[in-house]
Amino acid sequence: MSSDVSDGPFARTIGTMNAVGTLWIAALMVGINADIVGRELFGAPIRGVTELVSLSIVGIVFLQLPHALYAGRLTRNDALLRRLGERHPALVQRLETAWALLGAALFGALAAAGSAPVAKALRIGEYVGALGDFTAPTWPIRALIVVGSAATAGSFLLALWRPPR
5-14, 21-30, 90-99, 134-143: least confidently modelled range? 5-14
Per residue in 72-91, pLDDT tens?
888 887 888 889 989 999 99
Q: Which amino acid is at 126?
A: E
pTM of this structure: 0.89
137 forms beta bridges with: 127
Q: Which amino acid is at 1?
A: M
> DSSP 3-state assignment of 133?
coil
Per residue in 91-131, pLDDT tens?
999 999 999 999 999 999 999 999 999 999 999 999 999 99
User: Whole-number mean pLDDT of the chain?
Assistant: 92
Q: What is the percentage of the chain residues whose pLDDT exceeds 70?
A: 94
pLDDT of residue 1: 37
In terms of phi and psi (left: phi > 0; alpha: psi -120 to 50; beta: otherwise), the region of 135 is beta
Other CB atoms within 10 A of residue 126 CB: 15
How far, rounded to the nearest angstrom, does the alpha carbon of residue 6 sit from its chain's CA centroid?
19
**E-assigned strands of 18-165?**
127-130, 134-137
